[in-house]
Amino acid sequence: MAADLYLSYPSAFLIGLLGSTHCLGMCGGISASLSMALPVGRGFRLRQSLMLLAFNFGRIGSYTLIATLIAVLSTGAASQWASAGMVLRTIAGLLLIFMGLSMGQWWQGIRYVEKIGAPVWQKLSPLTRRLMPIHHPAQALALGALWGWLPCGLVYSTLGWAALQPTVTSAALTMFFFGLGTLPSMLATGYAASWVRGLQKHQAVRKASGALLILFGIWTLPLF
């Protein structure tokens, strides 16, 4: 199976890393605002780091939870219907290809997939406003946990990958490692690193990342 346990965790991490430019557009603004809202003074860097880590691990925790819920269904289906595995692989591969096309700015069809999660986000988004302004890490953690449900094509693409895993635990870990892959750029954005914004706008980086995601998608399809 293409997404076996020997490759799923580092591959998920790499997908998160490659998709960082997409993450910056979806979550980078809120991550940066956490830093800007903090008063500058003694212990600023420590407080900033705690806020950013709390927010991002709340986000990653939600990715892991969603993967767990999906894996409960997908592993059960795969055990009952022999064709379910092929269907899941096809969906996962196509989602990665769609995401790669979007990142490379060749086709934005992944936006239609993102609409799937819109009803859930409509229920949760008002809760994010109640947490504002953020004053301590517990609030940042809760905000990140809610933000993890934001409709995102990259997250959905990797969830399709996670659904291929043979156990619920391995599916959850796959999304956890994906989240870790998105962490470097998200933290850098929170620290207001201008080069990260430049990276987001760099066409060659976006196209190269998109092409690699497309290759991941083709590799996942039940052709190999």
Cβ 159 vs Cβ 67: under 8 Å: yes
Cβ 155 vs Cβ 63: under 8 Å: yes
| pLDDT block averages, 10 residues each, the chain of length 224 | 58 88 69 68 82 94 96 72 75 91 91 90 92 89 94 91 87 95 84 59 80 90 76
Is the preceding peptide bond at 133 cis, omega within 30 degrees of 0?
yes
pTM over 0.85: yes
**Euclidean distance between CA atoms 157 and 174, whole angstroms:** 12
